[in-house]
Structure 1
């Protein structure tokens, strides 16, 4: 990636991306100025410990970095993998939905003296 280039349309600073060995897949005029472009980064999600508490974390190439928490010690992060019919599967090529549940682990009491608990449930539908 080169950040020293400028946009040919208006001269503003720009980024130039180079794709080594993939030149044949990209025609020189196939992406016009102002065209939409998508990119992505791969992350591994899991948990990490910070000051004795578990946190939702992500990792790219290095160590896990805390994102949210603290989460519950035993069931704070749960992944359920489902096929196109919604049935649980352990076959990676059949996964078309991922159910992610995150549960808090904070020891906060409400006005009645009960532990406050919260959770988030997210369904991810893959594009395969």
Structure 2
């Protein structure tokens, strides 16, 4: 059996002048947009947790990743504020 792996980096990246949740790969540095456009200031957030559910920044301790994406549409509510939406997903490490 032959396995080929490619590393990807995910984050808030600019694609055609707009902020997106996007990725780049180790084989190509081209930005691949996944979701967006998102809010430029806080449109993409990553939080990392250890096996006990405590937030961590220690790479070897990460067991779970929470990804939050926030968007803003051009629509406004009755008070004139932009209407936005958010989505969070929790990803559990396989190994």
TM-score, reference length from structure 1: 0.62
From the two aligned structures, give the one with the greater strand fraction.
2
Cα deviation per residue 1:29-75 (whole Å; 9 max; x = unaligned)? xxxxxxxxx98653211122234321111111222121211111111
The yes-or-no answer on 1:43 pairing with 2:8 is: yes
Q: Secondary structure at the match of 1:107?
A: strand
Runs of 4+ that moved beyond 3 A: 38-42
RMSD over aligned CA atoms reads 2.3
Unaligned residue ranges in structure 1 (runs of 5+): 1-17, 20-37
In 2 relative to 1, CA 59–114 (structure 1 residues): closer, same or farther, beyond 3 Å? Answer: same
Alignment coverage as a number of residue pairs: 92
Once the two structures are superposed, the pairs formed by residues 1-128 of structure 1 within 5 Å of their partners are: 19=2, 41-60=6-25, 61-110=28-77, 112=78, 113-128=80-95
Indicate if the aligned counterparts of 1:73 and 1:105 stay in contact, CA closer than 8 A.
Answer: no
Cα contact 2:72–2:82 (8 A) shared by 1: no
